[in-house]
Amino acid sequence: MLRFCAALLLLLTLASAVQAENVVGPSNAILCNKIAIQEVGFTTATILVPAVAGQTIFICGWNVTNTGVNATVLFTSGTFGAANCDTGTKKLSPSFTVSSNSPNQDHTLNAGSSSNLSQAVCVTSSAVTVSVLLWYSQF
């Protein structure tokens, strides 16, 4: 009986260890170790982080400020066709409004979105009074 209990205990221990190895989602968090800054003066898609062949850009967040009237801002990724980020475009954020008295910030420790492989990250603003800081990693 003692052998049976020891075998059962061993079996249960091994079964739970095997189940613990199953991970849902990526097992390695991607941390952001770089920043990109775009000063005021842009209203078309502007490259914030240039593309590097074979690499992906991972976004941890942004801080967008505005010194003028309400502006709409959008982050995208893509390649250059006739303009910045106009080919293979992927939205990295919803369009959001930034007023002069309330900056927009979304920043986490780990990456929450990413560009497609070998694509740049661009920012578009509806007003020239917007400044952007982006936290990212690229590899």
pLDDT in tens, 6-18: 665 666 665 554 4
Q: Select 29-138's CATH number: 1.10.10, 3.30.450, 2.60.120, 1.10.287.
A: 2.60.120
Residue 132 has pLDDT above 50, yes or no: yes
Q: What is the pTM of this model?
A: 0.77
* Helix boundaries (H) for the chain: 2-20
Confidence label for 89 from pLDDT (cuts 50, 70 and 90): very high
Q: Give the model's pLDDT for residue 26.
A: 58
Of the given ranges (21-35, 45-59, 87-101), which has the lowest mean pLDDT?
21-35
Q: Give the model's pLDDT for residue 17.
A: 46
CA distance 102 to 89: 28
Listed by start position, the domains of the chain span 29-138
b/e sequence 50-61, b meaning 16+ C-beta within 10 Å: ebeeeebbbbbb
